[in-house]
Amino acid sequence: MHHQFFSLFIDEWASLVAIGGSLGTAIALIMRAVLLPLKNSIDNLNQTIKALGDSTKDNAHRIDKLEDRFEEHLGEAKVRNQKISALEHEVFSHRN
């Protein structure tokens, strides 16, 4: 005696389940083969972006230091120019 469920016999249902499982496994393997390289590419991109961000922060810090040193040099140059002007005034005013 063969049992039927939704117009299909048990052996037909078993075949459908086996075929569906095989198709599901094949689709899963294909998706994994496609998605794994994509995931690796995304991970590499994330690492690159992080490295760029770190590099940008380092560069900003270096620029801040350079700006500070430049301002110090400007201040020193102004003092030096004032001393030179004072010496020139002293030397040339004593000659006359």
Q: Where are the domains of the chain?
A: 9-39+48-94
Rg (CA), the chain: 40
Q: Please give the model's pTM, rounded to 2 decimal places.
A: 0.47
Structure token pair of residue 19? 């075929």
Q: What is the pLDDT of residues 12-69, one digit of tens each?
A: 777 877 887 888 888 888 888 888 888 999 999 999 999 998 899 999 999 999 999 9
CA-closest candidate to residue 38, choices 4, 73, 2, 30: 30
pLDDT of residue 90: 86
Three-state secondary structure readout of 64-93: HHHHHHHHHHHHHHHHHHHHHHHHHHHHHH
pLDDT band (50, 70, 90) for residue 92: confident
Give ∠ CA 72-77-79 in degrees, rounded to 5: 100
